[in-house]
Amino acid sequence: MQNHPQTDGRPTMRDVARVAGVSLKTVSRVVNHEAGVRPEVAERVRQAIAFLGYVPDERARNLRQSTSRPSSIGFAVSDVANPFFSSVLRGLEAVARSHNCLVLSASSDNDPERQDQLIDIFIQRRVAGIVVVPSSQHIGKLIPSVLRETPVVFLDCELSEQNCDIVRTDHFGGMTALTEHLISQGHRDIAYLGDNPSLFSARLRLSGFHDTMSRYGFATKEDWILTGSSTPSHWQTRVAGLLGNPSGPTAIVSAQNFSTIGAVMALHQLKLQRRVALAGFDDIPMGDVVEPAITVYPQIPLDLGRRAGEILFRRIAGSQEPLLQDISTSQLILRGSGEIKPTH
Amino acid sequence: MQNHPQTDGRPTMRDVARVAGVSLKTVSRVVNHEAGVRPEVAERVRQAIAFLGYVPDERARNLRQSTSRPSSIGFAVSDVANPFFSSVLRGLEAVARSHNCLVLSASSDNDPERQDQLIDIFIQRRVAGIVVVPSSQHIGKLIPSVLRETPVVFLDCELSEQNCDIVRTDHFGGMTALTEHLISQGHRDIAYLGDNPSLFSARLRLSGFHDTMSRYGFATKEDWILTGSSTPSHWQTRVAGLLGNPSGPTAIVSAQNFSTIGAVMALHQLKLQRRVALAGFDDIPMGDVVEPAITVYPQIPLDLGRRAGEILFRRIAGSQEPLLQDISTSQLILRGSGEIKPTH
DNA sequence: CTGAAAGCGCTTACAG
DNA sequence: CTGAAAGCGCTTACAG
């Protein structure tokens, strides 16, 4: 094929110029809608483009005009298949799109080495910016000497001494709202189910609980603070044990997904689902379908992704605003399980 | 900063060459681990690289060696936040990673125009290949004159006259398995809930049902074939209506998610969850937690993504094997709801 | 309104 | 073992 000298068969701007009988620069003008091309000439160029099926090569374009507009951003996360993170990605995508950017998404499986590798790969590709949900506080390559001018936004991690913007859920405030809600329904004997406090988010949620209880002058029993189980059925067993005691709690506040599901299972198992109140941090699948439906403080991952994207693109555009710690809040969804009144 | 002449502050290979006192080509050799550099020289280059914090520019690299290895693939889908599709993405990512590729993911919201735009953008970036879940059979830009040598794999769509590889779930076989299972439990009065038959997958599932029933010589009543509702609660109403009749079906086969959830709700509402059998196509959230747990034929989106990635990279590598229609099958998960025996 | 030259940061193909 | 030249497909900065 004489018209397509390239190995991959695609015509170049040079081919278009030849067919249209103009210079490279004129083709470039037409492609970029620059003014100052005689209409007839422009038309001739457009015809040549259509005839050859020419599509400009963004890579080449970007190489020369690297200072100008961004084209890709990177998103490094433990697992995009996790619905929470895929919603974050969707929010990011939406913002990227409004800047004519695409998102390179990559999962690290919480492997710090893979995370470092991903950051390197992103830098090699000269992404305009990076959003990262760091694996267990691992900083690794996320340092100024590697990043240089490439902006990074951290998602849902602890504010460290790093100089970076952070977007996260309001763990403390959300748990405060949940606890206050149960208290407002008359409860004071409240059990707490949560993640292992090695996670900063788990610590923030737990302190939201402690703080609220003590602010109201209620005691928190150590036996009623359960942490660290990892499957719904394990949670079910522990919660059933807790509720088996007649002087058990009148309400349960659950700080995460799996413990909420386990609590639902335990309550149904003991037929206590209409006697013991339950309120959970983070919505659960079918949370509005079970009986009674579950009162929750939802996280809004789409919003987290959008916020992260917005600050990222402001940095890309050169914003020198002070480092941001952007906290996404939401509203309790009252569905029934959290509005059960205490029975003893 | 004299060492960093670029606007974005990153040193180039030229800078490294200058600092190390060697030629461009020698730096290139060290960076690419090519043989034939004296160890001391190589060491000097490495020091310069470390000193300057040099990171090679993949874009430039790719421009010259465009014929060689791929660097990105594109994934166009209606919504990456949909857990089904985010799992597909994860499977794709895994395959891409083994080829040192990254995935550009983009959502189209089922907007045919946006899908066309995405294909254009992918082509402009010269992705090595594209995986697309087409919006309602929209072909648009997915045509040879635009695609040229860029391979495309379609996900979960009808085999059209297009020359393309397709990977999809075994809709017909899955529904056949579900129906046969209910029949094997003694049912013959089986109701069917499904998507609108405008979707090819809905048609395939429905014909799996019809085909199986007639193969066993059982009638399918038109009144028991419900299609087209879009929310669980709408399904709940319709299923409750169906079951209100004493001569109703003894079993329900549900062809999709929302109808399965609606059926669960209706069965619980009427306290029939242990009397009427239920089996569903596609797993549902909490499907193993409700009572009784739901028997399903699961789809395995991670597997779909992996298969799509595998054929895509074979095409990228130049495979001329015949067009593939790759059908991902799975096994029934018997959890209880589908093993209820008929009561009349 | 149009174009020739130089350059983006690398690699390829060659020469020494 | 090492390097000078040309080129990837575009844009930038000028000149006419």
Bridge partners for B102 per DSSP: B72
Q: What is the mean pLDDT of residues A75-102?
A: 95
Distance A211 CA to D13 C1' (A): 64
Percentage with pLDDT > 70 across chain A: 95
Return the pLDDT at B331: 96
At B162, is the secondary structure helix, strand, or coil?
coil
Write the CB contacts of A247 (distance below 8 Å, at least 6 apart in sequence): none
Contacts of B60 in chain A (CB under 8 A): 63
Residue A52 forms contact with B (CB below 8 Å): no
**Residue-wise pLDDT tens digits, A143-201:** 777 788 899 999 988 766 567 899 999 999 999 999 999 999 999 999 999 998 888 89
Return the pLDDT at A68: 63
* Tokens linked to A81: 């298949």
Along chain B (344 residues), what's the average pLDDT of each consecutive run of 10 residues? 47 90 89 85 90 90 73 95 95 95 95 93 94 82 78 83 84 97 96 91 95 95 91 92 90 95 92 95 86 94 96 93 92 96 83
**Residue-wise pLDDT tens digits, A270-283:** 999 999 999 999 99
Return the pLDDT at B143: 76
**Residue-wise pLDDT tens digits, A111-129:** 999 999 999 999 999 999 9
Distance B12 CA to C9 C1' (A): 7
Length of chain A: 344
**Residue-wise pLDDT tens digits, A30-87:** 988 888 788 888 889 999 999 999 999 988 888 877 566 788 999 999 999 999 999 9
Which of the two residues, A142 and A29, has the higher pLDDT score? A29
Return the pLDDT at B3: 34
Return the pLDDT at B66: 59
Q: Are the beta carbons of B146 and A53 separated by less than 8 Å?
A: yes
Q: Are the beta carbons of A145 and B265 separated by less than 8 Å?
A: no
Q: What is the mean pLDDT of residues A216-227?
A: 93
Bridge partners for A193 per DSSP: A226, A254
Classify the phi-psi angles of A70: left when phi > 0, otherwise alpha if psi is within -120 to 50, otherwise beta: beta
**Residue-wise pLDDT tens digits, A278-300:** 999 999 888 887 889 999 999 99
Q: Cα B164–B168–B169 angle (5° rounding)?
A: 165
CA distance A200 to A119: 23
Contacts of A83 in chain B (CB under 8 A): 81, 83, 86
In contact, B342 and B186? CB cutoff 8 Å:
yes
Return the pLDDT at B161: 55
Burial of A320 (0-12, 13-18, 19+ CB in 10 A): exposed
At B218, is the secondary structure helix, strand, or coil?
coil
CA distance A322 to A316: 14
Q: Are the beta carbons of B90 and A81 separated by less than 8 Å?
A: yes
